[in-house]
Structure formats: structure tokens, C-alpha cells
């Protein structure tokens, strides 16, 4: 039985769709005026995990995720400049060019993160007709009014306006009206714009449309829509008056989603959404992500540092959607190790077990992706490798500190058998998914499947089945071999000789030389495996090894 935490009721509820077996799901998409940072990417991955979970459980899901390409001002409270126009002025382009540019960047990013395409991805600028019709309805019902500068929704006409957020408007709590307004004819601070006229602060607006709304300051009602009305109009067009699920970030609760409820229910006369889901924020190094401090990283920057985008996706699996998650490079490294171990398991189970080979094969192993596009880094510590740092007892601080928990126990307990049957493992997985989409727990169940006494074929079938939720492309994992340069091969063989002689200092010295040539060497239980790495990774590897030789871990 699927249970979902409903922000509206502040409790977990048994999920009951409007129509048996079908789900109408709306997710607030990006405002496409700039590159989305990894916090935005986390929101997309979390929604994707929920979308995948629902489909895994057998539901027929219709997902709509919008693009806001007009009307989202730099302040959520109807103040400031339109974000698309800000981007246009920044880059000396039209708002339409800005939208096209950053929609493409966004779609490339979420494709790299293996986020499923929604059934519909509407743009606000393509739905001005539907927006105008909804504003007209609100005016006709007496729920909205017109000033010289805008058409506003009158929040006093909404039933229990703040029930989603629990705010007290009179106290101006958490974004619910600031007490100061730029339009002196606005009835109350919390009233929000449905339509801005091309007047006042917006007289030079770059995007505007004619409308039936009247202002003495413009001709033909020229203006542009407000932010919240876009989602109400588009969700109605594609999903109807009442939705099963609506998802966004916690930052949407006090203004955007509160306003969506007010205007949709006032216009349509029925409940707008049955279940509200909100994801928490991604922090960086224990604090808020900040452009000014250079911590609002994009996926492109993550890739530039040599990480596979699916490592970031795996990292996101480690925290529940309603919990904040803390991003650090160390935590991302830990996720990378775990994803690599997962891929290696898949290859091992496909190949069958082999004993450790003598010497070193003249080859390198790349998992899952071609050399010129992706890289998979060497884990800092693997079972079977004895480094200087390990001998001094510092080990891998990221696992020891428990900073990335879903795979905890995998490193040490992977060979312990579990008595659970295939059916019991599958049941535990479904229970985790049905418990408000508890993906971290589901991930732990997957690792438990590896520890079971099932045969490899059954384990693979289970893991491939579970990956329908995780979206890690596990079934695509493959081994690719490539000849090594003579110089690298000679160094690897020399390092093997040093290790055999237990000359650890010499082995570490040779490892650094190999890294300088753009390769890393990994000592597994079965063989030494050499991999091509990027410059950024090579620098990171050397920093790690230097710290290990100093008797600590970073």
C-alpha cells in the first residue's frame, strides 16, 4: 500500500488516485534564464525517482513538467525584473533566444542524469491564451480586480488561503506579503498579480501580449502573465481541474503553490490537488548554496572535474526527498566508489568468478561509457589494496565517518550471505518504495540482494528490476578493453614488482608517475586494472595519495 506524505495535511496518507491505476502528476519545472545548478538538478532527479517509483508500482502516469519562460520576477512577491529579460540583457539576446539556449542546456543535463522525459513539457509563452481565459474567469467571479498596473487576485476571496503553508498573513511570515507594495492601488500586500500591464516598472517589457484587460496606461491590454497563473492554466489544460500529485521545492510552499491553490480552486470550483509533495534543499559544505561564494555548481562543472553524471545521481539516491542533503566533494567521491563497486559486481556476476591472475594484463577496463566522454575514478581504498595510509590506520574517512550511508556495510560485509529469498528481497524493496518513496532504504535492499545466497542470475534479475526505480543504467554496464602505451605498461609492471617485494614507498612513487601520464592503477582481488583519467582527476588522485602517505585521509 503506497503512502505519501501530504504537505497539505502534514501527515502520511494512503494514496488513492482519482482514477484507478492512473496518476495525473504535475512538477514545477525550471525558469530557463540561466544554467541550473546541482540543487535544481537534485529536484529533477527526486521527481524522477518518484515518477519511476509510481510506474514501477504499476501506475499509468501522465507527468507534466513546465518551462517558465516569462513572468517569473526576481522576487517571488511580484517585485523586480522578469528573469528572462534579465538574462536577455545580460547576454544581449532576446528572451526567446535565452529560453531556447537554457532549455537545451537543461535538457542535456537531465539526459545525462537519466531523468525520464515527461509526457508533456509546456512553455508558458505558448499558453497565454489559456492564461488569459483563467484570468477572465477570476475577474467574472469577483476573485480578482484591476488597477492601472496589473490584474490582481484578491486573497480575501480565497477559502483558507494559507492552509498549505500555515502562515499568518498579518504577521508577514515567510514571504507572505512584505507590507510594502509598488502598486498603491493594491488592496492588500498578499494580493498577487495574475497579469502585469506593460506599464510602470514594466513599461519596457520585452515580452508582452494583447489582452481583454483594461488599463489607461496601455493599449489593447498589453502585458504579460504572472508566475503562478502559468502553472494553473497549463496543469488544467493537460491534466484537468483536479490533479493527483503536484511536486516542487519547499521554497514553492509559501508563495507559488499557495497562489496556485487559490486561483485554481477559485476559477474551477473544485479541489486543485489531492497530494502535495515538496523536496528539501541541497546544501553545500553544511551551508546554503551560493553563487557569490562559488558553490552553486552546475552539472557541467561536475563533469569538468571528471565525474560521471550518474555518480551525482547515485549521490542523490542517498537522501530522502523530504530531507536536506549536504553536498561535499568527499561525499561525491564516496558515491563514486559505491557506484563503481556496483558496476564491478555486475561485470563479475556476468563473467563468473575467476582467480587472481598473475602479473598485469596489458589493458584497461572502462565501465559503462566510452573513453572520450566519461571517466570512472579509482577508489581511494579497495579491499585487497594495502596503501601507506591503510597501514597507518586512517583508512577511508568518508566511509568511516558515515557521510554517505546507503552503501554502508557493503565494503566490509559484501561477502556475508543473507538468508532472504528472492521474494522476500523484492517485498522489502517494494515496502521501501511504498513508504513515501524511501529510496535510501530501497538502495540498501539492493545491496542486501548482493549479499544473499541467490545465484548470480537471480541477483542480476533483481538488481536490473530495482534499477527501474534508481535509473543508474546498470543493465548497460559493460567492459571495454584497450591497449596501454608501452611506457605505462612498463611502469605498471615495475609497480607490481615493487608491491611483490613489499616496497610500498617505491610502489607509491611509481603510481604517481603513472598518474602524471594520465592513467590510474587499481589493485583488485583478481588483477591490476589500469584506467585512463582526466587531468582534474589525476590532480585529485595525487592529492589523496599524498595525504595517505602523510598518514591521514582527506
**Cross-strand pairs, 326:** 283
Q: Is residue 288 a part of any domain in this protein?
A: no
Read off the pLDDT of each residue in 187-192 and give the average, rounded to a whole number.
92
Determine the pLDDT at residue 61: 99
301 pLDDT exceeds 80?
yes
260 plus 338 within the same structural domain: no
Q: How far apart are CA 232 and CA 147, in angstroms?
A: 22
Read off the pLDDT of each residue in 170-174 and give the average, rounded to a whole number.
51
Helix axes 227-239, 258-268, angle to 10 degrees: 50
Determine the pLDDT at residue 383: 23
End-to-end alpha carbon distance in the chain: 43
245 plus 311 within the same structural domain: no
Last residue of a domain, one of 279, 314, 341: 279
266 plus 305 within the same structural domain: no
Q: Is residue 100 a part of any domain in this protein?
A: yes
Q: What is the pTM of this model?
A: 0.81
263 plus 355 within the same structural domain: no
| 133: nearest Cα among 51, 27, 212, 215 | 212
- Going by their DSSP bridges, the two strands 192-197 and 223-225 should be labelled as antiparallel
Q: Express each pLDDT in 431-440 by its tens digit.
A: 999 999 999 9
264 plus 319 within the same structural domain: no
Determine the pLDDT at residue 181: 58
407 pLDDT exceeds 50?
no
163 pLDDT exceeds 90?
yes
Q: In whole angstroms, how far apart are CA 468 and each of 117, 317, 439, 463? A: 14, 13, 12, 9
Q: Is residue 381 a part of any domain in this protein?
A: yes
Q: In whole angstroms, how far apart are CA 234 and each of 98, 228, 278, 537? A: 21, 10, 20, 44
Determine the pLDDT at residue 47: 99
Q: Is residue 36 a part of any domain in this protein?
A: yes
Q: Express each pLDDT in 326-385 by its tens digit.
A: 999 999 999 999 999 999 899 988 876 343 344 444 444 443 333 233 333 332 222 222
Grid coordinates given for 219: 493599449
553 pLDDT exceeds 80?
no
Q: Phi-psi category of 521—alpha, beta or left, where left has phi over 0 and alpha has psi -120 to 50?
A: beta
Higher pLDDT, 21 or 406: 21
Q: How far apart are CA 371 and CA 265, in angstroms?
A: 53
**Which has the minimum average pLDDT: 54-58, 235-239, 364-368, 383-387?**
383-387
Q: Provide the 8-state DSSP code for 378.
A: P
Q: How far apart are CA 544 and CA 380, in angstroms?
A: 7
Instruction: Please report which confidence band the pLDDT of residue 88 belongs to, taking 50, 70 and 90 as the band edges.
Output: confident
Q: Is residue 286 a part of any domain in this protein?
A: no
Residue 545 assigned as binding residue: no
98 plus 151 within the same structural domain: yes
Residue 513: exposure state from Cβ atoms within 10 A (0-12, 13-18, ≥19):
middle
81 pLDDT exceeds 90?
no
Residue 260 assigned as binding residue: yes
192 plus 304 within the same structural domain: no
Mean pLDDT, rounded, of the chain:
83
109 plus 221 within the same structural domain: yes
Higher pLDDT, 303 or 373: 303
238 plus 374 within the same structural domain: no
Residue 256 assigned as binding residue: yes
Q: Specify the CATH number for the domain of residue 70.
A: 3.40.50.620
Read off the pLDDT of each residue in 230-243 and give the average, rounded to a whole number.
98
332 plus 232 within the same structural domain: no
Q: Is residue 292 a part of any domain in this protein?
A: no
34 pLDDT exceeds 70?
yes
Residue with cell 566519461: 374
Read off the pLDDT of each residue in 102-116 and give the average, rounded to a whole number.
97
373 plus 265 within the same structural domain: no
Determine the pLDDT at residue 533: 74
| 75: nearest Cα among 312, 251, 245 | 251
Q: Is residue 290 a part of any domain in this protein?
A: no
Q: Where are any strands of DSSP class E within 259-397?
A: 273-279, 282-284, 325-327, 365-367
Q: How far apart are CA 386 and CA 500, in angstroms?
A: 12
Grid coordinates given for 86: 534579465
Query: What domain count does the chain have?
Result: 2
Q: Is residue 417 a part of any domain in this protein?
A: yes
Determine the pLDDT at residue 171: 57
Determine the pLDDT at residue 479: 74
Q: Could you list the residue range(s) of the whole structural domain that residue 266 is in?
A: 3-279
- Going by their DSSP bridges, the two strands 282-284 and 325-327 should be labelled as parallel
Last residue of a domain, one of 247, 279, 311: 279
Instruction: Please report which confidence band the pLDDT of residue 450 belongs to, taking 50, 70 and 90 as the band edges.
Output: very high
The DSSP-derived string for 75-132 is: ETTTEEEEHHHHHHHHHT--HHHHHHHHHHHHHHHHHHTTPPPPSB--BGGG-HHHHH
326 plus 274 within the same structural domain: no
The DSSP-derived string for 145-171 is: EE-SSEEEE-GGGSTTTTTTTT--GGG
**Which has the minimum average pLDDT: 21-30, 92-101, 238-247, 479-488?**
479-488
410 pLDDT exceeds 70?
no
Phi, psi of 344, deg, nearest 5: -65, -35
Q: How far apart are CA 462 and CA 452, in angstroms?
A: 11
Helix axes 504-516, 535-549, angle to 10 degrees: 160
Determine the pLDDT at residue 520: 83
Amino acid at each position: 500500500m503506497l503512502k505519501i506524505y501530504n504537505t497539505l495535511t502534514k501527515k502520511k496518507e494512503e494514496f488513492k488516485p482519482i482514477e484507478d491505476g492512473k496518476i495525473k502528476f504535475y512538477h514545477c519545472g525550471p525558469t530557463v534564464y540561466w544554467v541550473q545548478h546541482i540543487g535544481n538538478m537534485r529536484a529533477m532527479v527526486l521527481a524522477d525517482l518518484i515518477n519511476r517509483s509510481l510506474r514501477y508500482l504499476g501506475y499509468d502516469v501522465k507527468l507534466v513538467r513546465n518551462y517558465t519562460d516569462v513572468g517569473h520576477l526576481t522576487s517571488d512577491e511580484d517585485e523586480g525584473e522578469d528573469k528572462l529579460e534579465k538574462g536577455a540583457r545580460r547576454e544581449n539576446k532576446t528572451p526567446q533566444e535565452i529560453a531556447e539556449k537554457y532549455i537545451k542546456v537543461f535538457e542535456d543535463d537531465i539526459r545525462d542524469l537519466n531523468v525520464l522525459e515527461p509526457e508533456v513539457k509546456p512553455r508558458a509563452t505558448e499558453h497565454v491564451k489559456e492564461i488569459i481565459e483563467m484570468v477572465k474567469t477570476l475577474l467574472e467571479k469577483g476573485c480578482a480586480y484591476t488597477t492601472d498596473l496589473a490584474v490582481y487576485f484578491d486573497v480575501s476571496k480565497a477559502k483558507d488561503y494559507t492552509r498549505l503553508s500555515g502562515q499568518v498573513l498579518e504577521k508577514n511570515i515567510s514571504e507572505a506579503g512584505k507590507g510594502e507594495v509598488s502598486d498603491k492601488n493594491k488592496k492588500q500586500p498578499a494580493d498577487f498579480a495574475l497579469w502585469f500591464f506593460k506599464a510602470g516598472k514594466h513599461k519596457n517589457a520585452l515580452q508582452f501580449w494583447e489582452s481583454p484587460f483594461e488599463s489607461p496606461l496601455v493599449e489593447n491590454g498589453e502585458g504579460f502573465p504572472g508566475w503562478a497563473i502559468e502553472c494553473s492554466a497549463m496543469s488544467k489544460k493537460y491534466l484537468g481541474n483536479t490533479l493527483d500529485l503536484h511536486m516542487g521545492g519547499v521554497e514553492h510552499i509559501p508563495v507559488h503553490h499557495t497562489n496556485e491553490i487559490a486561483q485554481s480552486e477559485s476559477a474551477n470550483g473544485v479541489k486543485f490537488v489531492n497530494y502535495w509533495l515538496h523536496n528539501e534543499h541541497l546544501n553545500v559544505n553544511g551551508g546554503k548554496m551560493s553563487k557569490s561564494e562559488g558553490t552553486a555548481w552546475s552539472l557541467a562543472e561536475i563533469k569538468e572535474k571528471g565525474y560521471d553524471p550518474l555518480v551525482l545521481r547515485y549521490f542523490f539516491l542517498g537522501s530522502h526527498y523530504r530531507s536536506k542533503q549536504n553536498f561535499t566533494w568527499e561525499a561525491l567521491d564516496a558515491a563514486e566508489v559505491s557506484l563503481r563497486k556496483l558496476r564491478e559486481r555486475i561485470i563479475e556476476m556476468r563473467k563468473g568468478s575467476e582467480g587472481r591472475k598473475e602479473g598485469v594484463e596489458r589493458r584497461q577496463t572502462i565501465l559503462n561509457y566510452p573513453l572520450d566522454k566519461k571517466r570512472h575514478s579509482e577508489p581511494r581504498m579497495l579491499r585487497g589494496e594495502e596503501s601507506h595510509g591503510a597501514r597507518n590506520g586512517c583508512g577511508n574517512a568518508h566511509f568511516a565517518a558515515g557521510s554517505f550511508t546507503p552503501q554502508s556495510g557493503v565494503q566490509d560485509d559484501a561477502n556475508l550471505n543473507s538468508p532472504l529469498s528472492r521474494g522476500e528481497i523484492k517485498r522489502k524493496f517494494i515496502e521501501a518504495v511504498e513508504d513515501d518513496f524511501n529510496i535510501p532504504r530501497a538502495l540498501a535492499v539492493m545491496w542486501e540482494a548482493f549479499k544473499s545466497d541467490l545465484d548470480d542470475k537471480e541477483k542480476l534479475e533483481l538488481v536490473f528490476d530495482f534499477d527501474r526505480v534508481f535509473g543508474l543504467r546498470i543493465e548497460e554496464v559493460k567492459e571495454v578493453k584497450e591497449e596501454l602505451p608501452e611506457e605505462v605498461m612498463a611502469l605498471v609492471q615495475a609497480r607490481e614488482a615493487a608491491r611483490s617485494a613489499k616496497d610500498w614507498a617505491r610502489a607509491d612513487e611509481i603510481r604517481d608517475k603513472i598518474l602524471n601520464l594520465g592513467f590510474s592503477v587499481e589493485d583488485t582481488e583478481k588483477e591490476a586494472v589500469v584506467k585512463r583519467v582526466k587531468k582534474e582527476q589525476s590532480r585529485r588522485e595525487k592529492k589523496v595519495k599524498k595525504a595517505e602517505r602523510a598518514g591521514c585521509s582527506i
